[in-house]
Structure 1
């Protein structure tokens, strides 16, 4: 087992974890904003126990990766993911992305992963593509004022903002019947505060304003699309329901009542579904 760093062409130091037998099929995890690879702890241990090689990295400016001043956009996110995959020589891998990480997976698979045989399958979990922000061509999107509000709140008091997100909409802990876990809230906050305020600030534009319609259309590998219908962060009608129309070989699973953070709070359901897709 190992956890190391690689250096990208533009000088970012990217932290990664690489656990399990090197000859086993790799499962590669891509985390959401503003978190780190630690958000995949449950899934990494689960797949490791099932005989897979598991890999995850901290996005530039997030977690333990360096707080570089530049490159906080989907192109660099995908290029960094490719750099990790090439350095570890990952082939026939299943790439699983959550939220912003789903956008990262879509761009990586579309631009880097398929021709070289590096990608066998893809999974988009509560993922941001094709486009979050409301535009003339995306009238059902989220108004830009919402994302401007995120930026203002982050700039004013990042610690307070992150606490509000984790204790409220992210896991659905603001719902009347929610079973609230303070430890889950604390762990989300811990991961967020490890990263760079600048990377998080500029990352809001990356996840909300990047049109990934063409990325989704370019994905030919089998793709599992998973989302909860009570996702308060990425509305599923503008995400999963559009993704399944754009990918060429997709399977859609909508989970009734599940939140944006279902990977953590509903891992007992999500993990076996992920494993079944990987094994299929």
Structure 2
């Protein structure tokens, strides 16, 4: 397997496909998944002549199940370590959900200062912050995230069936086209990772205020969100991102779920390609 070891000794798994002289696209996955969640995008962009890179966040997928560093600071540093190891330049960074927070942190703190980033994309992403605060009173109450922690601790395997079978892909909506293999694959990816990383990662994706990260991202940034996202409500995320980003394009998809990159891949891939080539 292709891995790097970060400065704090954590082994990070990554995939690097395609011509090494092609423009790179680096994908950042959501909680509690792995780089495998980008299969539909990596194959599509590889076929369109790009170099495609994705890594498993620490504690997720095939990366080391360490007992420290499950926070946005370390997520961004690990992404930077991969980008620097592969010497990715003129890169597009695309993040989904928690991976969107990782992209915001990486691009603002490492990618732009190092001159490595051309554009960024936030898909169903968590910034600026999911938690209800004085600054963002439209956020979700802490009890929502305490409930997630309780579910992970009590029966992670069952929770990792219920979430994709229900709100994640909108399979709980009347008349939904429920795809059992998609649910199975979500469960498989989740159960590859560490219960500790997943438990502690809830704080990272819900309580990290990334307002300043968003304000610092000067490269063109595409913000994509579904208006039927039951996991990360679009009015508290995508809409606010577009307001805070200096150079943003916002697109809201009617009726699309949090997991639209998988269940609506054909539409999303075409829109991503148009933005990258535009």
Given the alignment, which residue of 32, 35, 47 partners 1:34?
32
Match of 2:187 in 1: 189
Pick aligned residue for 1:178 from 155, 176, 187: 176
Residue 17 of structure 1: CA displacement? Answer: 0.1
Match of 1:17 in 2: 15
Q: Partner of 2:245 in structure 1?
A: 247
- Verify: 1:68 aligned to 2:66, yes or no: yes
Structure 1 unaligned segments of length 5 or more: list them.
Answer: none
Task: Return the match for 2:161 from 160, 163, 169.
Answer: 163
Q: Which segments of 5 or more consecutive residues in structure 2 lack a partner in the other structure?
A: none
What's the counterpart of residue 199 of structure 1?
197
What is the TM-score when the length of structure 2 is the normalising length?
0.99
> 1:142 aligns to what?
140
Write the distance in 2 (CA, Å) between the matches of 1:105 and 1:42. Answer: 19
Q: What is the root-mean-square deviation in Å for CA atoms of aligned residues?
A: 0.5
Cα deviation, residue 139, structure 1: 1.1
Aligned to 1:112: 110
Q: Paired residues, what number?
A: 278
Q: Which of the residues 263, 274, 277 maps onto 1:276?
A: 274
Aligned to 1:229: 227
Matched residue, 2:81: 83
Cα offset for 1:115?
A: 2.4
Distance 1:210 1:137 in 2: 13
Deviation at 1:20, TM superposition (A): 0.1
Q: Report the equivalent of 1:214.
A: 212
Deviations along 1:168-207, one digit per CA (max 9) or x if unpaired, are 0000000002100000000000000000000000000000
Structure 2 match to 1:94: 92
3-state secondary structure, aligned to 2:252: strand
Alpha-carbon distance in 2 for matches of 1:115, 1:82: 11
Alpha-carbon shift at residue 116 of structure 1 (Å): 2.0
Separation (CA, whole Å) in 1 of partners of 2:4 and 2:190: 21
Provide, for residues 114-150 of structure 1, a one-character-per-residue CA deviation record: whole Å limited to 9, x for no partner.
Answer: 1222000000000000010011222110010000000
Calculate the TM-score normalised by the size of structure 1: 0.99
Runs of 4+ in 1 over 4 A off after TM superposition: none
CA distance in 1, matches of 2:207, 2:114: 29
Distance 2:34 2:129 in 1: 22
1:4 aligns with 2:20: no
